[in-house]
Amino acid sequence: MTYDSAIKALSQDALKFVKNNQVIGLGSGRAATAFVKSLSSYVKKNKIHVKCIPTSLQIKLEAEKGKLHLMDTVQDQIDVVFDGADQIDKQKNLIKGGGGALLRENILISAAKKVIIMADDSKFVTNFNRDVPVEVHPLARNTATKAISKIGGKPIIRTLDRGYPFVTENGNIILDCDFKTIKKPKALQEKIQSIPGVLEVGIFTRKPDIIYKALKDGRFDVIK
């Protein structure tokens, strides 16, 4: 079996956190896409009004297809953010940015009253052991690469299939940085963040309020 049925089920369950007149942040990735589809149907069926802020063009297009009311700036606070994660450690820290939307995702999560994360059980680890995406201004690609290497990372510029650099929707590049096993994510996040030219780090230390864990048998767990 695959995770698809579990992700569909949990995206339906997560609708219980949606209320009339809310401002909702829409994250990126597979689970977030499933949630946007569920949200579109729910809003239409129940005739409620919500304003949504998407973190990527992919999610924006999905939300437009579902005729959701979209905003392009954070006015004040966001009531709730629904997002995915590339990894979740035992302390509920997150690695995000596999799709390249980490800067926008962190803006929304930082402004949110409630954060709901949806991921399959393969994303849960004791300590982070995957590359950390770092969004960098193109001007700083060489200096940031050297600085990250000095603190123990192995940065590689993210590229597209043809070898061209991946460019974020903000016009920046991504360095995917291998730090092996990460036991102190907050300290590492702060070190990387202090490097000139670094705009965002894919280690998110704000703990989610709710985590949905999709299981392969089609069920899901809810972690609070």
Task: Show which residues are catalytic.
Answer: 105
Decide if 114 contacts 76 (C-beta within 8 A): no
Residue 23 DSSP SS3: strand
CA atoms lying within 13 Å on the CB side of residue 137: 9
Assigned token pair, 27: 């994250």
Decide if 216 contacts 5 (C-beta within 8 A): no
- 177 — alpha (psi -120 to 50), left (phi > 0) or beta? beta
Decide if 115 contacts 205 (C-beta within 8 A): no
Distances (CA, A) of 180 to 19, 147, 155: 41, 17, 12
| Unique residue bearing structure tokens 């590229």 | 159
How many C-beta neighbours within 10 Å does residue 89 have?
Answer: 18
Decide if 108 contacts 71 (C-beta within 8 A): no
E strand or H helix that includes residue 17: none
Q: Both ends of the chain: CA-CA distance in Å?
A: 26
